[in-house]
Amino acid sequence: MSTPRLVAGVDSSTQSCKVVIRDADTGALVRTGTAPHPDGTEVHPAAWWDALCQAAAAAGGLGDVAALSIAAQQHGMVCLDGDGSVVRPALLWNDTRSARAASDLVAELGAKEWAEAVGTVPVASFTATKLRWLADHEPAHADRTAAVCLPHDWLTWRLTDGRDISTLTTDRSDASGTGYWSPATGQYRTDLLEQAFRRTPLVPRVLGPTERAGVLEPTGFAAAGLLNAGSARARLGLAETDPLMLAAGAGDNAAAALGLGVRPGDVVVSIGTSGTVFAVCDTPPADPTGTVAGFADATGRFLPLVCTLNAARVLDAGRALLGVSAGELSRLALSAPAGADGLTLIPYLEGERTPNRPDASGELHGLRLANSTPAHLARAYVEGMLCGLADGLDALTGLGVLSDGPGRVFLIGGGARSEAVRAIAPAILGRPVLVPAPAEYVANGAAAQAAWLLSGGAEPPRWEAADTELFEDQPLPWLRERYRECRDRAL
Ligand SMILES: Nc1ncnc2c1ncn2[C@@H]1O[C@H](COP(=O)(O)OP(=O)(O)O)[C@@H](O)[C@H]1O
Ligand SMILES: O=C(CO)[C@@H](O)[C@H](O)COP(=O)(O)O
């Protein structure tokens, strides 16, 4: 029997780095590893590199892997100087300090004009607004910035070169989250980059879905001038003789869409640090309200997406408040009645991106003696978080980009591991929900992209779909209505 060819997929997400190693032909899972990322919304990229090395080691190393693809959290601003050194820690997608810069940029050009130019209207998450913040607040760092790239671009480049900024690459999906690349034309809008940053740094070359970002040759680390090349290869579990092909990589949500094999009409709801609701479609969306971001996907199509800042960590906060485990929060939530007897959480604990309220905070409405119990509070936390996502699903549906949809609604991400979330989601989202078996769907999508690179086929590999469990319940329009009233009062 021949040895299977292996591929690796990476999800360098907000809270951790995950590596999955799969059989390139069958998709069978071979090994996995994870490592945590530091907390905070400002992180030095070296921490992602360390976590990638640790996660690769925990997955048994990459020595027998033929191709690798890196997917990562979107939008983070990584500034490099002319020598390829990091200028300052990266500002992540959930750092809201550029909210004022975002509203300045909208005022300068107009929301409709931004949506038509790049598919998105500036909010604090997008790279363009972070660059404007840097220009306004740290001009010395802005002056030193010779190139700007994103988390997955930097990690891929760190593996293939790590020194020459002219070799930086990205892909369509991540480029579409910058605010200066147009999914509709497939071109950078250098004028908008300059408008945001008042400078024109080098930006990564945008690769198509099956293009190769590079090859990590046996001598690669030394050629790249990385200090202690031998130890870097050793940390990744690579033997001195192993070449490793690097795929284009992707933004995490596009990778998840690829990993799940979503079809036009399907919707994915992901509950990670961010809450996202997205679909794939064949025409570039442009929502002048900015609610739906018109991203590109990782297969050559488009990825309309709504993103909230408050998802799995709302559940974490509920647990901390009640001093209980994730399992106990879930049990408590399921022991309270739907609607928590009038207790409603508006879950904007981190400010909010959709709706665009970067300075908002969370609010509890309707506290009474009768609902002042741990169970009611747990229920309100789960329901409030899901109502934020249901608003996102409404916006996506309202934009008319779902062909005959919504069809299948998938629920993924760390938060989908909660039994209460799975059970309550159908009533709040107003439709049946398919929960794939718990797995790292972003890293799986990256692994599929690596296998696609190896196969050179016209379509991504057709690996066996994950087992799914169907959750159904009667929609609760009255609960959504009460949430809307409290939300609008809060806003
Ligand atoms: N059983 C569970 N119940 C509730 N939340 C969970 C559970 N398991 C994991 N989580 C939460 O999921 C989050 C991590 O999810 P993940 O999708 O990996 O996030 P990210 O991609 O943003 O790093 C954490 O906030 C964690 O507390
Ligand atoms: O900003 C977005 C999408 O626009 C987020 O979805 C980030 O890509 C972070 O994802 P997670 O780490 O929460 O999965």
pLDDT tens digits, one per residue of 468-483: 999 999 999 999 999 9
The pair of three-digit structure tokens given for residue 259, joined into one six-digit string: 């990993």
Mean of per-residue pLDDT scores for the chain:
94
Active site residue 252: yes
pLDDT tens digits, one per residue of 185-210: 999 999 999 999 999 999 999 999 99
Residue 489: CB atoms within 10 A of its CB come to 10
Residue 263's SS3 state is coil
Q: Which of 183, 173, 156, 184 is nearest to 52 (CA)?
A: 156
pLDDT tens digits, one per residue of 302-321: 999 999 999 999 999 999 99
Specify the residue with its C-alpha closest to ligand 1, atom 8. 414
Specify the residue with its C-alpha closest to ligand 2, atom 10. 73
Residue 347: CB atoms within 10 A of its CB come to 33
The pair of three-digit structure tokens given for residue 440, joined into one six-digit string: 């790292």
Give the binding-site residues of ligand 1, using a 6 Å CB cut-off: 13-16, 272-273, 312-313, 315-316, 326, 413-415, 417-418
Annotate 168-195 with DSSP letters as a single string: -EEEHHHHTTSSSEETTTTEE-HHHHHH
Cα dihedral angle (158, 162, 167, 172), rounded to 10 degrees? 20
Residue 226 pLDDT grade (very low, low, confident, very high; cuts 50, 70, 90): very low
- With tokens 């919504």, the residue in question is 406
- With tokens 């998802």, the residue in question is 311
Range in 73-77, 232-236, 319-323, 324-328 with the lowest mean pLDDT: 232-236
Binding-site residues sit at 74-75
Specify the residue with its C-alpha closest to ligand 1, atom 13. 414
Average pLDDT over residues 277-298: 97
- With tokens 């300075």, the residue in question is 359
d(CA 304, CA 287): 9
d(CA 1, CA 22): 17
Rg (CA), the chain: 22
Tell me the CA–centroid distance for residue 363 and ligand 1, in Å.
22
Burial of 420 (0-12, 13-18, 19+ CB in 10 A): buried
What is the b/e burial string over 38-71, where b = at least 16 CB atoms within 10 angstroms of the residue's CB?
eeebebebebbbbbbbbbbbbbbbbebbbbbbbb
